Amino acid sequence: MQVLAVSTDSHFSHKIWQEQELKKMVPGGVPFAMLSDAGGRIGRVYGVYDEDAGVDIRGRFIIDPDGVIQAMEVMTPSVGRNIKELIRQVKAFQHVRATGEVTPAGWQPGQPTLKPGPALVGKVWEVWKPDLIPN
């Protein structure tokens, strides 16, 4: 798995952000590359470049080894993202790819998975008991 952060900020801004903010939140700073998308070429490809503001809107994309986007989320800057959910989704996509099984909503590693097929129809409830109310 490879993680990349991309924004229209310069690599100088990324360096300052890493040194002045991220290293104080994450020991050693974020352990992945931060790329500059000056001019928004990458953002345009993924549909997140705001032409009027000249910036990439906050988004995240999970792209499989074949280059296919498996998931995406685009958020306004005023709403924070959930890194634990991102990591959970990456693990679920990796599990699905490796096993051919499917993971129900909220699945965590070690929990039951579902085997797709006609035998599953009308019986998901027997296998999966989601915790619908967050703590």
| Domains annotated on the chain, with CATH | 1-81 (3.40.30.10), 82-135 (no CATH)
pTM: 0.78
Neighbours of 96 (CB within 10 A): 17
Q: Please write down the HEC assignment for all residues of 39-77.
A: CCHHHHHCCCEECCCCEECEEEEEECCCCCEEEEEEECC
Kindly state the average pLDDT of the residues 77-90.
88
DSSP symbols for 105-123: TT--TTS--B--SGGGTT-
Task: State the pLDDT at residue 132.
Answer: 55
Average pLDDT, the chain: 88
More confident: 1 or 82: 82
d(CA 97, CA 115): 13
